[in-house]
Amino acid sequence: MKYAYFLLFFISVAAVAQTRSEYKMRLMVNEISALPLTVINSSTNETVKTDVAGYFVMQIQTSDELVLQENDLYQLQYQIRASDLQNTLIRIYPQPLTTVLEEVKVSQITTKSLGIDTETVLLKVQQPNPNMDFKAMFLWLLKKLRKPPVDLGRKPYEMNPYVAGLPRNVITDYLKIPDTLVEKFYYFMNDDYVIDQYIKNDDEAKWKIHLLDKSFEFLEQENATER
Indicate the fold that domain 16-96 takes in CATH: Immunoglobulin-like (2.60.40)
Task: Name the residue among 71, 63, 86, 62 with its Cα closest to residue 27.
Answer: 71
Segment among 90-99, 101-110, 171-180, 205-214 with least mean pLDDT: 101-110
Question: If pLDDT is split at 50, 70 and 90, which confidence band does 49 have?
Answer: very high
Task: Name the residue among 26, 23, 27, 33 with its Cα closest to residue 58.
Answer: 23
Residue 145 neighbours by CB distance under 10 Å: 7
pTM of structure: 0.37
Instruction: Write down the pLDDT at residue 110.
Output: 67
Q: pLDDT tens for residues 152-203?
A: 567 777 888 888 888 888 888 888 899 898 888 888 888 888 888 898 888 8
The answer to whether the CB of 177 falls within 8 A of the CB of 211 is: no
